[in-house]
Every structure is written in structure tokens, then in C-alpha cells.
Amino acid sequence: MPNSYMDLERYAQLFEPKASLLSGDISPNYSTLSNEVIRRVIGYFPNLKVIFLARDPVERVWSHLSMEVRYRQVSRSTRPMSTKSIGICSVEGCCCARTRAQLSRDWKRYVHPDRFRIYFFDDLQRNPD
């Protein structure tokens, strides 16, 4: 889902084949959406349910850095705690640039409390049921 320009009608069409079946979308990119975009999304999908999977912040940063190396956006030789690697995670738009508290607060501002749940990724790993 694009961050700046969104065709919400077209995005909604992605879910039409499921009809009344439960369907959804998952992406760390949702954590990079601005408050304005979140407001527009919730305005278009007023019954949207949001499941926020909070991950250990250190593991989240490590995962992001590993992905950057995999996609060759960061050299494998970059030391894990170098200024360059820390800078990657403080760049605006980086999925780890905001804290879990900030991210959940941004979404909770627009999503009805009955439609917003926070779960911890570690709990999901330990007990998927």
C-alpha cells in the first residue's frame, strides 16, 4: 500500500474475491504510515479491525538490518552498531523509526477501541494458538 498516494477503492478490490470470508493484509509498511494516511484509511474502511503485533525492539532492529543486508542496501561488512547502521534505523520512514508505543498510539487515535488489539510477537512465537 503506497504511503503518499493511495487509491483506496482499488486497494479494497483486492479483498473482494474473499466476499464474506475473513481476509486481511500484513506488512511492516503499515508502521510507516503518517497520521494523515491512517486517518484516510480508517475513514474509507470504518469497520477495519487492526491487529498490532509488537515485537521486541532490539530484535526488530536486527531483523531490519538483516533485511537491508539481504537486499544489499547495507554492506555485509558494516559493523552492527556502527554509526551507519544506527542511522539506518533513525531515517524517517524506516519501520523502526518510531517506538511501539508511538505506533500503537497513532493507530489507536483513529481506530475504534473494539477494533484494535495489541499482541506481542514473542507470545505468538511461543504459543501460536
Q: What is the CATH number of the domain that holds 91?
A: 3.40.50.300
| pLDDT > 90? residue 8 | yes
The residue whose grid cell reads 524517517 is: 92
- The parent domain of residue 76 ranges over 8-126
How much is the pLDDT for 2?
42
Judge contact between 57 and 96, C-beta under 8 A.
Answer: yes
| pLDDT > 60? residue 63 | yes
> What single DSSP character describes residue 82?
S
How much is the pLDDT for 66?
79
Is residue 21 a part of any domain in this protein? Answer: yes
| pLDDT > 50? residue 93 | no
| pLDDT > 70? residue 85 | no
User: Mean pLDDT score of the chain, rounded to an integer?
Assistant: 79
Q: How many CB atoms neighbour CB 98 within 10 A? A: 15
Is residue 22 a part of any domain in this protein? Answer: yes
Is residue 90 a part of any domain in this protein? Answer: yes
Which one is predicted more confidently, 98 or 43?
43
Is residue 12 a part of any domain in this protein? Answer: yes
What total of structural domains would you count in the chain? 1
Is residue 3 a part of any domain in this protein? Answer: no
Is residue 72 a part of any domain in this protein? Answer: yes
pLDDT digits (tens, 9 = 90+) for 12-48: 999 999 888 988 898 877 877 889 999 999 999 999 9
| pLDDT > 80? residue 124 | yes
Is residue 1 a part of any domain in this protein? Answer: no
